[in-house]
C-alpha cells in the first residue's frame, strides 16, 4: 500500500509530532511505502492565488477555478502544488495529522487543501462523491483536541465532534471521491497522564497495522 501523510504542527516534540512519527514507523514497518508532507518543515506556502500556477488563462481577471481547469489541460500547476497532487494521486491511503484549531483545520493545512484540490485535476465534470476522482482511495483524519471527550458529544458543550469534522470529511474528502475511514481522535493530550498518551500512541500504531482491513464510515449529511 502507498500511504501519504500530511502533518501540520510547528513543534516536532509535540504530541502531534509523536503521532506523525508513529504513523510513519508503523506503516513502513508493515511493508508499506510512505511519503509525507511536513507542512511547517517544508515551509509550505498556504496562500492561494496566481502563485498556484505556472500557466495563465486570463491575465486580466484571476478566477482560481478557471485557472485550475486550464492548468489541468496544459500541465500548468506551480511545482509545489504539482508535487502535492502527485503524492495524492500516488497514494492508496492519505492521513492528515493535525490539532483541531477553531473547530477546523490549522491554516497551513486549510491552505494546502485550498491550493491542491484543484478543479479539473481533483473534481469536476461528473466526478463528485461516489464517482469522484479519488474513488477507491481511503483517507483518515488523525486529530487531537484541547477539550476532553465529554465536551465533544452531541448536545454537549462543544457539540458532536463528527459534525465538527463533517465540512472536512464530506466537503473536501468525500466530495472528491475518497472513502473516509473513522477519524482517529485523541482528546486533550495535554490534560492526560503520560501513560494515557503512551496508550494513545500504541493504539494508533495497532490501528495502522490493520488499516488495510478497515471499512469506510458514513460521513453524514446536513
Ligand atoms: C489557534 C488554536 C486554536 C485551537 N482551537 C481549538 C478548538 O477549536 N478546539 C479544541 O478542542 N482545541 C483547540 N485548540 C487546542 C489544540 O487543539 C490542542 O492544544 C492540541 O490539539 C494539542 O495537541 P499538541 O500536539 O499541540 O499537544 P502538545 O501540547 O504538544 O502535547 C501534549 C503533551 O504530550 C507530550 N508528548 C509529546 N510527545 C509525547 C510522546 N511521545 N509520548 C508521551 N507524551 C508526549 C508533550 O510533551 C505534552 O506534554 C486550539 C489551539 C490553538 C493554538
Question: What is residue 17's predicted lDDT score, i.e. its pLDDT?
Answer: 99
Quick one: 170 exposed, middle or buried, by C-beta within 10 A (0-12, 13-18, 19+)? middle
As a whole number of angstroms, the distance between CA 130 and CA 118 comes to 18
Q: What values do phi and psi take at 52, rounded to 5?
A: -70, -15
**pLDDT at res. 208:** 98
What's residue 62's pLDDT?
98
The pLDDT assigned to 201 comes to 99
Return the best residue to mutate from 141, 145, 204 for the ligand 1 pocket (most ligand atoms within 8 A of CB): 145
| Cα–Cα dist 222/215, whole Å | 22
Q: Which pairs from 171-174 meet CB under 8 Å and 24+ separation?
A: 172/113, 172/117, 173/139, 173/219, 174/129, 174/132, 174/219
What's the pLDDT score for residue 194?
Answer: 98
Assess whether the C-beta atom of 21 lies below 6 angstroms from ligand 1.
no
Contact call for residues 51 and 45 (beta carbons, < 8 A):
yes
Q: Closest ligand 1 atom to the C-alpha of 189?
A: 32
Report the distance separating Cα 174 and Cα 159, nearest Å.
22
Atom of ligand 1 nearest to the CA of 21: 41
Task: Give Cα separations from 106 to 101, 183, 197 (angstroms).
Answer: 5, 16, 22
Which residue, chain included where needed, has cell 500500500? Answer: 1
Q: For residue 160, what are the CA distances in angstroms to 103, 105, 152, 193, 195? A: 11, 16, 5, 24, 26
Residue nearest to atom 36 of ligand 1 (CA): 15
Q: Are 117 and 156 in contact (CB under 8 A)?
A: no
At residue 75, the pLDDT reads 98
Positions of E strands within 62-158: 93-99, 138-144
**pTM score:** 0.98
For β-strands 138-144 and 93-99, DSSP reports them as parallel
CB of 149 closer than 6 angstroms to any ligand 1 atom: no
For residue 135, what pLDDT is reported?
A: 98
Beta carbon of 144 within 6 Å of any ligand 1 atom: yes
pLDDT for residue 21 = 98
DSSP at 36: E
Averages of pLDDT over runs of 10 residues in the chain (222 residues) are 98 98 98 99 98 98 98 98 98 99 98 98 97 98 98 97 98 98 98 98 98 96 90
- Report the greatest alpha carbon distance in the chain: 58
Quote the ligand 1 centre to 188 CA distance (angstroms): 7
Amino acid at each position: 500500500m502507498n500511504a501519504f501523510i500530511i502533518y501540520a504542527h510547528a513543534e516536532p516534540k509535540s504530541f502531534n509530532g509523536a503521532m506523525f512519527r508513529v504513523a510513519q514507523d508503523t506503516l513502513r514497518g508493515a511493508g508499506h511505502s510512505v511519503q509525507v508532507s511536513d507542512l511547517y518543515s517544508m515551509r509550505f506556502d498556504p496562500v492561494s492565488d496566481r502563485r498556484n500556477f505556472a500557466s495563465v488563462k486570463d491575465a486580466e481577471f484571476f478566477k482560481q477555478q478557471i485557472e485550475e481547469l486550464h492548468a489541468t489541460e496544459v500541465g500548468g500547476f506551480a511545482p509545489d502544488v504539482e508535487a502535492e497532487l502527485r503524492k495524492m494521486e500516488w497514494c492508496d491511503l492519505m492521513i492528515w495529522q493535525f490539532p483541531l484549531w477553531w473547530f477546523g483545520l490549522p491554516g497551513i493545512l486549510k491552505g494546502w487543501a485550498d491550493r491542491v484540490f484543484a478543479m479539473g485535476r481533483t473534481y469536476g465534470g461528473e466526478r463528485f462523491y461516489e464517482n469522484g476522482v479519488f474513488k477507491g482511495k481511503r483517507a483518515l483524519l488523525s486529530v487531537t483536541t484541547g477539550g476532553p471527550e465529554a465536551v465533544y458529544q452531541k448536545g454537549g458543550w462543544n457539540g458532536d465532534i463528527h459534525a465538527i469534522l463533517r465540512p472536512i470529511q464530506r466537503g473536501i474528502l468525500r466530495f472528491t471521491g475518497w472513502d473516509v475511514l473513522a477519524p482517529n481522535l485523541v482528546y486533550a493530550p495535554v490534560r492526560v497522564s503520560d501513560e494515557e498518551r503512551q496508550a494513545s500512541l500504541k493504539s494508533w500504531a495497532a490501528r495502522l497495522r490493520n488499516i488495510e482491513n478497515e471499512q469506510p464510515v458514513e460521513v453524514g449529511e446536513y
